[in-house]
Amino acid sequence: MRGAVIHAPGDVRFEERDDPTIINPTDAIIRTVATCVCGSDLWAYRGIEPVTEPHPMGHEYVGVVEEVGREVTSVKPGEFVIGSFATSDNTCPNCRNGYQSSCVHREFMSTCQAEYVRIPQAQGTLVATPDRPADELVPSLLTLSDVMGTGWYAAVAAEVRPGSTVAVVGDGAVGLCGVIAAKELGAERIIAMSRHEPRQRLAREFGATDIVTERGDEGVARIKDLTDGIGADSVLECVGTAESMLQALRSTRPGGNVGFVGVPHDVEIPGEELFFSHVGLRGGPAPVRGYLPDLIDRVWGGRIDPGKVFDLTLPLEQVAKGYKAMDERRAIKTLLLP
Ligand SMILES: [Zn+2]
């Protein structure tokens, strides 16, 4: 089969790779129906995460089950399935506590921009859809594998409640999905921070009520202006830089919460500032698996359409073009179809 391999920063190739096989009785093999490029894939593409040797890429996937190991009974060949970017048995204490992305058997998926993928812990990781989805539902279902589930977790971690005022830092796919989540969880006011007109438009379509174009201290000042000088109840940090994290912390009202889901790179929070802020922080890799049944329902019923974050669709063999377009910010998110 063929799949993406990164050789060096800026150098992603589509090449022949070994066919995945069942290694453990808890594995499944799926034939990829759709996969995509994630904002977090760009950390390696941009050389911010070192690429020490060539390795496969991709952690988002939907597909059809080809084969299952002998311990997998929850899904069967022929079914259309979605799984999280982090595998989980869905039975250990961390899974039962709702933190499947800290499963004691967790592995991070990393081979999904390919024609076939091996899914470890398939019994707990994969969820089958009610039926084969219509083609137009596939992009939205694919977002549940990471970005929509991550945006959902950001909103849950920031304790968005009916009537809340929410600010979203980051206008990438996760931030935009965070807007959807905030709306679904009943936020009354959703302030999206974005300087890019097409992303602002999508944020509004997803439920943003206000747009703030300023960043850093000026962005914080704008959020304060919009909230009677107090700050937002909940802030979703969906970037992972030092600037975005401090912007999120400083935009939150005393007693409010930050949900941070951007993978932190060189982020340091001054302890004294955190202490006096009275702000709660919760973040980490999103327990996407736990949200899958509910989010599949919302997509299946046409209630949410997070697939709109894909503004570029390419055949999988042109995966390198997809990275380049996202790196140059010409695309929010690239959908790849084998
Ligand atoms: Zn577990």
pLDDT tens per residue, range 107-127: 999 999 999 999 999 999 999
Q: Structurally, how many domains does the chain consist of?
A: 2
Shared domain for 101 and 88, answered yes or no, is: yes
Shared domain for 248 and 330, answered yes or no, is: no
pLDDT (tens digit per residue) in 179-210: 999 999 999 999 999 999 999 999 999 999 99
Q: Which domain holds residue 215?
A: 151-283
Q: Residue 136 — very low, low, confident or very high, per pLDDT cuts 50/70/90?
A: very high
Average pLDDT over residues 317-334: 96
Shared domain for 100 and 187, answered yes or no, is: no
Shared domain for 69 and 163, answered yes or no, is: no
- Of 252, 268, 283, which residue is a domain's last? 283
Shared domain for 127 and 176, answered yes or no, is: no
- Phi, psi of 140, rounded to the nearest 5 degrees: -65, -40
pLDDT (tens digit per residue) in 279-319: 999 999 999 999 999 999 999 999 999 999 999 999 999 99
Shared domain for 85 and 207, answered yes or no, is: no
pLDDT recorded at residue 186: 98
Task: For residue 322, give the CATH number of its domain.
Answer: 3.90.180.10
Shared domain for 132 and 246, answered yes or no, is: no
Q: For residue 147, report the distance from its CA to the centre of ligand 1, in Å.
A: 21
Query: pTM here?
Result: 0.97
Average pLDDT over residues 218-230: 98
Shared domain for 13 and 137, answered yes or no, is: yes
Task: For residue 178, give the CATH number of its domain.
Answer: 3.40.50.720
Shared domain for 29 and 78, answered yes or no, is: yes
Average pLDDT over residues 17-32: 98
Q: For residue 101, report the distance from its CA to the centre of ligand 1, in Å.
A: 8
Classify residue 161 by burial, with Cβ atoms within 10 Å: 0-12, 13-18, 19+: middle
pLDDT recorded at residue 336: 98
Shared domain for 157 and 234, answered yes or no, is: yes
Q: Residue 155 — very low, low, confident or very high, per pLDDT cuts 50/70/90?
A: very high
pLDDT recorded at residue 200: 97
Shared domain for 251 and 190, answered yes or no, is: yes
Q: For residue 99, report the distance from its CA to the centre of ligand 1, in Å.
A: 8
pLDDT recorded at residue 3: 98
- Of 283, 311, 326, which residue is a domain's last? 283
Which tokens in the block code for residue 224?
A: 């304060």
Shared domain for 219 and 112, answered yes or no, is: no
* Ligand 1 ion local residues (Cβ < 5 A): 88-89, 92, 95, 103
pLDDT recorded at residue 46: 95
Contacts of residues 8-16 at CB distance under 8 Å and 24 or more positions apart, as own/partner, are 8/51, 9/44, 9/45, 9/46, 9/47, 9/51, 10/45, 10/46, 10/47, 10/327, 12/45, 12/57, 12/319, 12/320, 12/323, 13/320, 14/316, 14/317, 14/318, 14/319, 14/320
